[in-house]
Amino acid sequence: MSQEEPEGPEPEAAAAAGGPSPAGLGGDEPPCKEPDRPCAEPALAPASSRYFASLDATVEGLQQQVRDLIGRINEGREEDHRVLRGFRESLMQKVSELAEQLEERLFRLYGFHNELIQERLQAVAEVMERVEEVQAELRHVCCTVEAAYRDLLLQPEA
């Protein structure tokens, strides 16, 4: 090789291929000398910017997939709530129907028992009437016995 030809690719070819430039990655800007002050971002070579654009697209795609997944999860939860609400309403309807049936049965039983109670109350009333009649007869007998006893006591002994 001759001294006129440099070894390796030329600086312009390296920059076009996406390799580092002779001044470093920063290109035209000098490195930051003050640590307290943020440095301006270095200009990227075309190959690097294509890589980062592809990376950004991939990240955006992943973010969209995450948003879609969260949306599907939320839709699933909403559907679960709708199903649960429907189940609750159905269950409440069934319980209401059963309560109505129970109430109807109770009213029928009340009616049946009311008839039995009425019959027995009538029988008790009849018995009480007879008791009053017998009591009146007993008073009459007692009065008759008392009058006969007085008559016996008042008669002179002969």
C-alpha distance from residue 152 to each of 19, 53, 140, 145, 156 (Å): 156, 142, 18, 10, 9
Look at residues 124, 104, 127 and name the one whose alpha carbon lies nearest to residue 116: 124
Domain boundaries, the chain: 44-153
Asked if the model's pLDDT at residue 32 lies above 60, the reply is: no
Which of helix, strand or coil describes residue 116?
A: helix
**CA pair distance 1, 36, nearest whole angstrom:** 48
Distance, in Å, from the CA atom of 154 to the CA atom of 69, rounded to the nearest integer, reads 121
Residue 47, pLDDT score: 67
Predicted pLDDT at 51: 76
Instruction: Please write the tens of the pLDDT for every residue from 83-99.
Output: 999 999 999 999 999 99
Average pLDDT over residues 27-42: 52
Over residues 35-86, the pLDDT tens digits come to 555 555 555 566 677 778 888 888 999 999 999 999 999 999 999 999 999 9
Task: Write down the pLDDT at residue 5.
Answer: 44
Considering the entire predicted model, what is its pTM? Answer: 0.42
State residue 24's pLDDT score.
Answer: 42
pLDDT at 31 over 60: no
To the nearest whole number, what is the mean pLDDT of the chain? Answer: 80
| Cα distance from N-terminal residue to C-terminal residue, the chain | 190
Q: Give 121's contacts (C-beta < 8 A, 6+ positions apart).
A: none
pLDDT of 29 > 70? The answer is no
Could you tell me if 11 and 45 are in contact, meaning their C-beta atoms sit under 8 angstroms apart? no
Tell me, what's the pLDDT at 45?
Answer: 61
Q: For residue 100, is pLDDT > 70?
A: yes
Q: Does residue 104 surpass a pLDDT of 80?
A: yes
Q: What is the DSSP string of 35-104?
A: TTSPPPPPPPPHHHHHHHHHHHHHHHHHHHHHHHHHHHHHHHHHHHHHHHHHHHHHHHHHHHHHHHHHHH
